[in-house]
Amino acid sequence: MKTKCKNFVIITVLLLLATACTQKPSFTKQGYIENYETWIVELQKNYKNLNDADWATIESDFERYSKTGYNRFCKDFTPEEKQKIQMLSGQFYAIKAKYEALQLKEKLNNLLDQAKGMVEEFKR
């Protein structure tokens, strides 16, 4: 139950950040970059506590940052800002890969436990 509540809070924070990115009328180029960076930092802190359903929402948020928000200001970005945004996108992919690796590790551990159970049963 605690995990579900924790996940709800995490998703809510991520959604609020994403909403700020796409709907704030006075939103600036610098605000976009700062919000994107904050979103990545929060995702980095919390990715281990998320599940596949959470990632569907997160991927939608990423789409808003990496495409919709980017396209809004792309003509105004300096080369350094473009590089920073590309690095943030790369960090997202790395975080997602780490999450998927954790999921794979969990599945492999489950299979190992099942195999151990089979071996124990054959020993009897």
Give domain status of residue 104, yes or no. Answer: no
Asked whether 44 and 66 are in contact (CB, 8 A), the reply is no
Residues 6+ apart with CB under 8 A from 102: 48
Number of independent structural domains in the chain: 1
Give domain status of residue 103, yes or no. Answer: no
Residue 46: which domain range?
2-96
Taking the CB of residue 96, how many other CB atoms lie within 10 A of it?
A: 16
Tokens of 32: 């976009």
Based on its alpha-carbon atoms, the radius of gyration of the chain, rounded to whole angstroms, reads 19
Name the burial class of residue 39, with classes exposed (0-12), middle (13-18) and buried (19+) by CB atoms within 10 angstroms of its CB. buried
Which pLDDT does position 26 carry in this prediction?
43
Give domain status of residue 60, yes or no. Answer: yes
Residue 79 has pLDDT above 50, yes or no: yes
This prediction's pTM: 0.72
Per-residue pLDDT reduced to its tens digit, 56-78? 999 999 999 999 999 999 999 99
Which pLDDT does position 11 carry in this prediction?
66
Give domain status of residue 33, yes or no. Answer: yes
Give domain status of residue 101, yes or no. Answer: no
Per-residue pLDDT reduced to its tens digit, 11-33? 665 555 555 555 443 489 999 99
Give domain status of residue 75, yes or no. Answer: yes
Give domain status of residue 11, yes or no. Answer: yes
